[in-house]
């Protein structure tokens, strides 16, 4: 379709399910669904006929609308609903529907009611998909943490070799962040809410309509509750026209998921450099190739996680700026700025979760490279341990040990040999010194931390399964 947004410049979500779930067509369908549901609620309350509700439902299919034409008309009223309503009424007339159907359409509502609600409907589907992929990512990372619970590797601080750790604890650290993000997004998903307030958030028009129908027992409160239930959204009880906290909660949750996955992707990118080679992305036919260098296998999944992480902060800034400058009973431009920012965050989060799930469940581990890189630092990577354990045995204490470490590095001399010269064997035997220099003996609480995160994952997984 000419003018359609397929994601050509957005590889993090292009080609994923998010591209369809959060498309222009999906948003328009959300507006149509909201309008059709509202007429049905009116019909159920005796405020219009069942035939009216059916007629509106018949025109509430996005396939019946020219989205390019709709987009071209959107600037005329600063939102897409205004021209969409005109198109809906034209179709109602074309279909031979009763005039009462057009009267019931959008009655008592305002553009913000429908647009905010439609965004919630789009996000509901997108977040459901994102959560499923986050949980798959968590499963892959949990397997990695279990398998490599005791695999000793070098930890890095400010890009430099620091101390020994385990690959299991690194994987558990990624997992912990993913679980936190999943919890936050899951909680936000439970708060996807209906917007229903009428022109200025008072439902004055609807209240007046109800007052003219003495035969109905419906109230504006009960109708809003029914509408929320029909659409599968929470009923907040009050409108949130300029209270943009629901948007910020959703945006923050999406941003948190993107950030957690971005960290995972960044670590894989570093570890997959050929000169490091500890981790590798799964090879996939047709993925990771270079346009000019056929020998390259680019870590494209990790690159796309980084792409999402780089892209998200600006979108979050837009949401917070819009929320902080919302005025009167409808924001003058800030509300409009939210739409594309929130949708793009949803797309990025869904796309990132999709790629992360594949990566986490197929990540390659090169044990030989891990051992090689651990050995690069030599005995110096145990310097923290040596300083604490040997200070009482060396004249000059801890500063003297640190000086030996620096000398070892500067002169490329074995630290073990220097220590052997400084510490008498009767104070520290060769076997004891070897034990002090064994990286596997200086892992602190890495195993316990790994097990704690894995236990958290298991409990969380049980909750997911209990919902099915």
Alpha-carbon distance of 39 to 33, in angstroms, equals 10
Q: What is the mean pLDDT of residues 332-341?
A: 95
Are the beta carbons of 440 and 166 closer than 8 angstroms? no
Query: What is the end-to-end Cα distance of the chain in Å, rounded?
Result: 38
Residues in the chain: 468
According to CATH, the topology of domain 18-369 is Fumarase C; Chain A, domain 2 (1.20.200)
- pTM (2 d.p.): 0.94
pLDDT for residue 427? 87
What are 99-139's pLDDT values in tens digits? 999 999 999 999 999 999 999 999 999 999 999 999 999 99
Tell me which residues are annotated as active site: 290, 330
Chain-centroid distance, C-alpha 106: 34
Q: What pLDDT band is residue 65 in, cutting at 50, 70 and 90?
A: very high
C-alpha to C-alpha distance for 393 and 398, rounded to whole angstroms? 10
Mean of the per-residue pLDDT values for the chain?
94
Tokens of 217: 């027992």
Q: Two tokens at 286?
A: 């047709």
| pLDDT tens column, 9-61 | 999 999 999 999 999 999 999 999 999 999 999 999 999 999 999 999 999 99
Judge whether residue 280 has pLDDT over 60: yes
Residues contacting residue 367 through CB under 8 Å, at least 6 positions apart? 151
Give the pLDDT of residue 396. 87
pLDDT for position 1: 45
Spans of all domains in the chain:
18-369, 377-437
């Amino acid at each position: 379709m000419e003018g359609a947004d397929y994601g050509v410049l957005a590889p993090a979500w292009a080609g994923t399910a998010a591209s369809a779930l959060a498309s222009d067509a999906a948003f328009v369908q959300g507006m149509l669904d909201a309008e059709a549901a509202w007429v049905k609620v009116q019909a159920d309350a005796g405020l219009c006929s069942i035939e009216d509700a059916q007629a509106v439902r018949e025109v509430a299919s996005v396939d019946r609308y020219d989205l390019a034409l709709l987009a071209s008309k959107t600037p005329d009223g600063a939102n897409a609903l205004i021209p969409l309503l005109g198109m809906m009424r034209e179709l109602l007339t074309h279909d031979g529907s009763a005039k009462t159907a057009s009267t019931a359409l959008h009655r008592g509502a305002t553009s913000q009611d429908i647009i905010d609600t439609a965004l919630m409907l789009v996000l509901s589907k997108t977040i459901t998909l994102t959560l499923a992929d986050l949980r798959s990512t968590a499963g892959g990372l949990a397997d990695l943490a279990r398998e490599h619970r005791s695999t000793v590797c070098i930890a890095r601080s400010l890009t430099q070799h620091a101390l020994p750790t385990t690959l299991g604890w690194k994987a558990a650290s990624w997992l912990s962040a993913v679980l936190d993000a999943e919890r936050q997004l899951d909680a936000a998903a439970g708060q996807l809410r209906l917007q229903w307030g009428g022109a200025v958030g008072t439902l004055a028009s609807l209240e007046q309509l109800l007052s003219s129908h003495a035969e109905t027992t419906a109230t504006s409160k009960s109708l809003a509750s029914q509408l929320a239930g029909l659409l599968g959204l929470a009923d907040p009880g009050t409108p949130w026209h300029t209270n943009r906290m629901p948007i910020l909660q959703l945006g923050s949750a999406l941003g948190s998921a993107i950030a957690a996955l971005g960290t995972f992707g960044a670590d894989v990118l570093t570890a997959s450099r050929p000169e490091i080679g500890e981790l590798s992305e799964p090879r996939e036919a047709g993925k990771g190739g270079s346009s000019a260098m056929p020998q390259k296998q680019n870590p494209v999944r990790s690159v796309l996680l980084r792409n999402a992480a780089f892209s998200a902060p600006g979108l979050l800034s837009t949401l917070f700026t819009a929320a902080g400058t919302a005025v009167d009973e409808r924001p003058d431009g800030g509300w409009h700025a939210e739409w594309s920012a929130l949708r793009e965050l949803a797309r990025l989060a869904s796309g990132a979760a999709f790629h992360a799930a594949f990566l986490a469940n197929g990540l390659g581990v090169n044990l030989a490279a891990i051992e090689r890189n651990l050995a690069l630092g030599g005995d110096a990577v145990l310097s923290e341990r040596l300083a604490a354990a040997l200070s009482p045995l060396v004249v000059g204490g801890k500063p003297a040990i640190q000086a030996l470490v620096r000398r070892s590095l500067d002169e490329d001399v074995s630290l073990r040999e220097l220590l052997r010269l400084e510490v008498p064997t009767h104070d520290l035997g060769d076997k004891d010194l070897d034990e002090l220099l064994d990286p596997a003996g200086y892992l602190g609480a890495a195993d316990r931390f790994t097990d704690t995160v894995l236990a958290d994952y298991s409990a969380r997984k049980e909750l997911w399964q209990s919902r099915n």
